[in-house]
Chain A
Amino acid sequence: MKVAITSSGNSLDSKLDQRFGRCSFFVIYDIESKGFEVIPNPARDAQEGAGPAAVQLVASKGVSKIVSGEFGVKIKPILDSLQIQLIVLKDSEKTINDVIEMLNH
C-alpha cells in the first residue's frame, strides 16, 4: 500500500509540508516494501489548479492514502471519487520519518 506524504524538503528528515497542492515535494512511501521515492511537485508554482494537478501526480503513482496538513476544497471530491483516503496532520514539526514511523504501526 502506497502513501503520499507532502514534504518541505527532499529527505526523510524534512518537515511535513502543511499544504498539499503547493507543497515542495512528495514522498511516496510503500508500507509493504518500506521503500520510498521523493518527487518534486511541479504544480507548486502553477497559478491555478495546483491541487487537481497534484492529485493527478500522486494518483499516477498508485497511492491509496495522502498525509498532509491541509487540503483545498477543490480536490476533496476528486479524491473521493478516486477512493484515496485523506489524512490531515496539523503539526508542522513532524518529519517524514515521524510519519513513516506512525504508518508502520
Chain B
Amino acid sequence: MLITMPRQKRLRRMVNPPQFAGFHPVGGGSEQQPVLIPYEEYEAIRLCDYDLLGQAEASVIMGVSRPTFTRIYESARRNVAEAFVLCRPIVFEGGKVYFDSDWFHCSDCRCWFNHPLKAEAVAECPLCGGSKVEVCDVIPIDKEEEQVSYEYCYCEKCGFEKPHRHGQPCRNEICPTCGVQMRRKGS
C-alpha cells in the first residue's frame, strides 16, 4: 500500500512573535492538558483581530495564499475557543514559521534593509548614511517593469485598475486604495 505524505508546508513569516509563553486560566484548570497554539496562529490573530487587517492583506504579510491564511486563522479561533470553554491553559509552541526581523526603508537611496542587531536602535541608512529611515513591514517583491500585457487587475469596490503582471494572479493582488482583493478585469 502506498502512503504518500501531504506537500511540505511553506514557511509562514512571523514578524512579531509573542513575548510570553502562553496563558493560564484563573481559578482552576491549570492542571489540564494545554491547548497548543502554533506561532502562525498567534500571528493570524494578531494581524486580523488586533491590527484589524483584512485577511487578504494579512495573507500577504505572512507570505501565504489567502485560503491558507483563512485556514490558519480559523484553526486559531477554534483553538482559543476550546481553551476558553474547556478551561485549558494555552501554550504557544511549534508551527512552520521563520522569524523575520523588522524591515526598514530609506527614502534617500530607496533601499530596504533589516536590522539583525535588535538591541541597538536604527539611526541611519547602512548604505548611504541618510537619516530618512522608517519602518516598513512589506517589501514590494516584484518590479513594475515586468512583462507588459494588455490585461488589467481591477478592484470591484473602488474601480482602481492596474496592469496585470504575467504569472501573478489578480486574486493575489490587493487594491492599494481600499485594501480588498482584486480580480481580472472582464472576469
Contact = CB atoms under 8 A, between A and B. Distances in A.
Interface residues of B, number: 23
By size class, the interface of chain A is 20 to 34
A99 B109 CA distance: 10
A85 B115 CA distance: 6
B116 interface: yes
Interface stretch (B88-96, B123-131, B168-176): B123-131
Interface of A: 65, 67, 70, 73, 76-77, 79-80, 83-91, 99, 102-103, 105
Contact of B129 (A85, A89, A105): A105
The B interface, classified by DSSP as helix, strand, loop or mixed, is loop
Interface of B: 11, 13, 63, 98-101, 109-117, 126-129, 139, 141, 143
A85 B63 CA distance: 21
A87 B126 contact: yes
Contacts of A91: 110
B130 to A, nearest CB: 8
A25 B181 CA distance: 40
